[in-house]
Structure 1
Amino acid sequence: MFYDQDNVTASLRQEIYQIDRDNERFRSGIAQQQEVLDGLRETVQNYGEERDSLVAERQNEIANKKVEIRRIKGGDYSLLGTNEHPANRLAYWIASFILLLLTGYLISFYASVIYNAFLLDPLVLAARQAQQNIVSTVTITNVQAFPLVYEEHGILGVLFLLTSTFVFITLGFLLYWFSHSKSSVWHYILYIFTFIFDAFLAFEIVRKIHLSQSIVNDMPPWEFSMAFSQMEFYIILCAGFGIYVAWGLLLKYVLEEFHKILPALAGIQRRKAEIARLEQEIREIRQKFAEKINLLLQEIREVEQREVGFFKHAIEQNDGRMSALREKLRNHLQNSGTKAQNLRVHVTSFLTGWCKCIHANQPQEKAMELVKECHSVVNNFYQTIGLN
């Protein structure tokens, strides 16, 4: 109930009061929507923390896998569940490089030797040199074996010369293979066969060398025993059979070391695959939580714009109307007499007596709190009726 001196004052105060109640309702709505927004923001934060936790777990696993890979490369085979001694990687790569060079040497050496032993005709060579006014004899090796065999026999001759060299590569591999057999009979048979084969090649080349020299110089007729007195015979045996044996032993070492490296390579490959899987999981986790967080952020923006924005706009409009009404009420009261002033006098007198009663019946600290609350109520009352 308002203390009104006329209907205009009562109407203005009633309208101000109603607008103030509407604003209270709007502020309550803002508070409710703010609780909703706080809940959504907390959910966004929880999603972010859960995402970071899941990503951190997988990143730690990736770091552990990388450490394990470095340990395996360093020779720690305990991670592989095997008691084998780690391979000597430096020796393995050096031996592999030497094996590659020796393979090239054997191919070129035996290609030259086989050409001289099987395809070269000293008489044809002498006739060709006579046409070109060149004088030379057959040598142990012929670095022009491939061009000459292509010129004389075409592509099939080159194919024969190249594939025939792999007979000795195969013998070297069999030497490694039979070294794992419990019975060493085949092992020794292989050595003997290769030695005899090399001896036959050496014998044939030495014979052709003698024939070639006899065309140019006056030489005694060839006899079987001459081969064993020629240095070329033993050079071919050492350069062929000796290197072939070394190649087979080196192949054995390389393959045995590779057998030791193989579990490490498999273990490293398996851990790299796990790292790739974990990295994929991290991408999927980030994408999944990004979608959830974006949906929540969109909902937050919609609530702020639709609900909170509406309430704030309504409060701003009401505040403008209320200010205008209070100004109108204030002007009306000033032009209407002294009843408003009398109301202030009565309220002040009542408040003063009430405060004295509080101080008389309440402890000092409690009395101060109650008096402060009374003044707040009176000020709100004045503000409501437009007397502030």
Structure 2
Amino acid sequence: MAIKNLFAVRNTAEQKEEALPKEDKEQIRITYYQSGFAASTKASGKPIVLQACLQNLFASFEDQCRRQELEQEKLKQPYKEEQERLRTELRKLETGLSIFEEKDLQNNQHIEKLHKDMIDVKHDPEKYGVEADKRPKAQFYIGLLVLLPITLYLLVFYVSASYSAFFKEFTIDALVAAIFDKDAFTNAFNDSWLEGILVTTIPFVFMGLGYVIHMMQKGRGILNYLKLTALLLVTFAFDALLAYAIEQKIYDFNKTLTDPPYDLSIALFEAQFWMIIFAGFVVYIIWGLVFDFIMKEYENLDKIKVFIQNKKEEIKNLQRVKEEMGEKLSEFRNQIIEVKGKIAEIQSKINGFIFPIKEYLLYHTQYKEGWFQAIMTEIALPSNKKEELLQSCEDMADLHLKEMKLTDNDFQHLVYSKN
């Protein structure tokens, strides 16, 4: 009854002030000591009675803690502050989630529109600014028909011209076929397979130059035009060297002792020299122009296909963005769930009550000290029996703390959540 009265005094004091004066706290500790001393004297210090007394002490202290609203509010204040901080964080996360959800919705709508455009463009290409004819263009096939025989001509010309310039030995019979030698291909392979490969691949070198010129025409700028001019000059120079080599062989075969050595001044005035150049270089220019025209027609042959391909690339990029957005959304949702869980956990603590462990342990120690002091002074037992009784009471007090889960000294308070 004395302990309960003290709690009543303590409760009234805390309603008026935030903390008890030091003298009141000292009086409470003395009262716990006296209560332990009196109870031990009446029970002859029996451990089983001590266990019941400690349980009653704990229940009484717990009940009083529940009723001390001001003290509970003070103890719960850190949890409320933490809960408010988490709610602020939750609002930020929910705002971020809504922003990313809006972006994800817009991204999905854009993807759906692109799919719709890919279907509609086949029925109404002009709606999407695509000037396309679904039927193949005659210009492309006409150009292709023209390009094929020109390609065959260049193959024959450069095989024959390169063979005559590099490997052919001129005779009286060979002068008739100085430029176009019908046996150039077979004679080259008969002489050596390396000769055959060389004269066969030379035409493809010129065609490769023509393809490079076509690709470079797509570029812009002075440097690009200078490169194109350089390629044309290189092609012309190679044709001129072939013509010069062939004409030199013919001139050396026909010259007399009085004729001067063959040089560029003589070549420039030889009609056959220019015939060889024009038969190769001019036809090569024509081949390049036709090839360039065909490639441009091919690119324009199906603009709908190009339009759809561009849309597919755009969709692919948006799908990549969608995956990244999905990861962000998942991260935000997980964080929101985690924060909500923490808020709910803290709310359950706020709804419950906080048990001040350190304070109870102080009173528990005072009560136990009074109990032990009574055994030592008021109970008549031999010394060895007193020691055994004290140890039994100590073990019973420790067991009580373990049962109440009050043995962890790292915690200031024990929170009883209300679920």
TM-score normalised over the length of structure 2: 0.40
Which structure dedicates a bigger proportion of its chain to helix? 1
TM-score normalised over the length of structure 1: 0.43
